[in-house]
Amino acid sequence: MTNEQHSEFYTKGKVIKMTEKEKQQAGELYNGGDKELTAERTAAKKLCAEYNSATYNDYQKKERILDRLLALRGENTWIESNFFCDYGYNIVIGDNFYANHNCVILDCADVVFGDNVFIGPNCGFYTAGHPIDAEQRNSGLEYAKPIKIGSDVWIGGNVCVMPGVTIGDNVVIGGGSVVVSDIPSGTVAVGNPCKVIRKITDADKIK
């Protein structure tokens, strides 16, 4: 399928042109250098820079910036500096969310976190993908697939979550993992590629 075919669709016999942002949100190939998308990324980067330069204990300022940057966040949200994202408006965070230093969220598509999510340092959530075909990739085309993280999830340090992945509820992802496929609820998973190693049971309670 050509880029021109990706830029339009048919309804009631009429050809409707799609903007690059509309193609992005529809999961189609789109031009990442589009002026509208570039301007929105620039605005988000400015807010991230403002957040990262804020005094550590200036909670109110950091919360105000997050409210401007993110689509939605619940109660008791804390993200350590430095924090980086692409757009911000595709990120939804539940209650009791904590992300350690150097969290990167490339939110070209939706990135949704449930309640009680703990994220270790140097973690990345990458909805953005690039074609394997070099000609398409070099032309600036890319695509995005959403990421969903359930509730009661602990993600260890240096974890990468790749495009299109869903992580269920009550999951522990071991440090250094690269998550390329869905992880079911109630499990411990680790590795590159990340795989389930066992279920979580009552025996895991520290007594």
- Token pair for 54: 């804020």
Contact 167, 179 (CB under 8 A): yes
Which of the following is catalytic: 130, 145, 148, 195?
130
As a whole number of angstroms, the distance between CA 159 and CA 177 comes to: 5
Strand order through the sheet with 147-149: 72-73, 91-93, 111-113, 147-149, 166-167
Rg of the chain (C-alpha set): 18
130 as an active site residue: the answer is: yes
Nearest CA to 144 out of 35, 47, 21 is that of 21
For residue 45, give both structure tokens: 């980067």
Which sequence positions are flagged as catalytic?
130
